[in-house]
């Protein structure tokens, strides 16, 4: 039985996470926190709380980004500046590799253009920054952005950020395939 850990924000929690086991099939135990991993620093903190559940996983699959790159305040800056995000995502990647020999990172998914806080331009920049530090560590990149970006109205809910049932299953299939590819 292969132990799989899924970490991530609400795109995992309410989106692809519930369907991954179905696409993995038999022979896989899937654990994921019932908590939203939110932004990178929060996920780093959660590693301490969930150490025992995560440690020894055959594969850890994670995503973080939407909370980090949102622009909530009048100063126009992202919640987590991209240089800090890059540093923290690299730190997170290194710590995850201490808990599992195989780690996969999923790109942040697109949003509808009407989203007042997140933009696809920021998502693309943060995805590129994450790949630049995670790939050299041997962490596989799972592109969940591109398959959904072609038609955000068909793939993203009316809340302008979350996956609908169809795109949740598309992403779950891609997550399962990425996990199997590193085993």
Question: CA 41 to CA 38: how far, in whole Å?
Answer: 8
Question: CA 161 to CA 167: how far, in whole Å?
Answer: 12
Which residues 6+ apart lie within 8 Å of 91 measured at CB?
44
For tokens 């994450």, the residue is: 130
Give me the pLDDT at residue 93, please.
Answer: 98
Question: CA 36 to CA 14: how far, in whole Å?
Answer: 9
Determine the structural domain holding residue 162 and report its residue range: 2-182
Contact predicate 103/139, CB 8 Å: yes
Please report, in tens digits, the pLDDT of each residue of the chain (183 residues total). 999 999 999 999 999 999 999 999 999 999 999 999 999 999 999 999 999 999 999 999 999 999 999 999 999 999 999 999 999 999 999 999 999 999 999 999 999 999 999 999 999 999 999 999 999 999 999 999 999 999 999 999 999 999 999 999 999 999 999 999 999
| Count of domains for the chain | 1
- pTM exceeds 0.95: yes
Q: b vs e for 156-165, b when ≥16 Cβ sit within 10 Å of the residue's Cβ?
A: beeeebbbbe
Give me the pLDDT at residue 7, please.
Answer: 98
Check which CATH number belongs to the domain holding 65 and give it.
3.40.50.1110
3-class secondary structure, 63: strand
């Amino acid at each position: 039985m292969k132990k799989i850990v899924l970490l991530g924000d609400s795109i995992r929690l309410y989106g692809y996470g519930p369907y991954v086991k179905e696409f993995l099939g038999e022979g896989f135990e899937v654990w994921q926190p019932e908590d939203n991993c939110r932004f990178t620093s929060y996920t780093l903190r959660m590693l301490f709380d969930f150490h025992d559940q995560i440690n020894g996983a055959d594969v850890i699959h994670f995503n973080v980004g939407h909370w980090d790159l949102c622009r909530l305040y009048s100063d126009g800056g992202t919640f987590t500046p991209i240089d800090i995000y890059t540093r923290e995502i690299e730190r997170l990647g290194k710590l995850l590799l201490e808990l599992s020999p195989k780690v996969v990172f999923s790109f942040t998914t697109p949003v509808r253009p009407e989203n007042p806080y997140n933009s696809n331009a920021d998502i693309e920049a943060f995805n590129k920054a994450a790949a630049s530090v995670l790939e050299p560590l041997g962490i596989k990149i799972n592109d969940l952005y591109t398959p959904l970006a072609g038609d955000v109205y068909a793939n993203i809910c009316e809340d302008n950020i979350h996956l609908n049932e169809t795109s949740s299953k598309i992403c779950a299939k891609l997550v399962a395939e990425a996990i199997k590819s590193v085993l």
